Amino acid sequence: MKKLSYFFCFPQGGFNDFCEIIWSSFDYCKKFDRILVIDTRYIVTFKDDFRNYIIINDPLVYTGDIDILFDDLHP
């Protein structure tokens, strides 16, 4: 069974910066077969879950609970 590899994205800046950083991260994940985890909940410029506003419907983008994922990766 193949082990999942993740790429964590913590974009900062304005909305356009967020989109550019996420798009670049998504391209990286496609190229290197990674799961993109977008976490903006504690970013100074946003402080909310980006997924509440933008839905990216792709299996390469993590849609589960980010806190559970962090707990699973850092026992």
**Residue 1 belongs to some domain of the structure:** no
Question: What total of structural domains would you count in the chain?
Answer: 1
Q: Which stretches of the chain are DSSP H helices? A: 15-32, 66-73
- Bridge partners, 8 (sequence order): 37
In angstroms and rounded to an integer, the radius of gyration of the C-alpha atoms of the chain is 12
Predicted model pTM: 0.87
Please give the pLDDT value at position 27: 97
pLDDT in tens, 12-55: 988 899 899 999 999 999 999 999 999 999 988 888 998 898 88
**Residue 64 belongs to some domain of the structure:** yes
Please give the pLDDT value at position 28: 98
**Residue 66 belongs to some domain of the structure:** yes
Please give the pLDDT value at position 1: 65
- Tokens 């800046």 correspond to 13
**Residue 52 belongs to some domain of the structure:** yes
Top pLDDT among 73 and 9 is at: 9
Q: Three-class SS of residue 29?
A: helix
> Can you give the residue range of the structural domain that contains 58?
6-73
**Residue 53 belongs to some domain of the structure:** yes
Top pLDDT among 64 and 75 is at: 64
Cα dihedral value 10, 64, 66, 30, nearest 10: -30
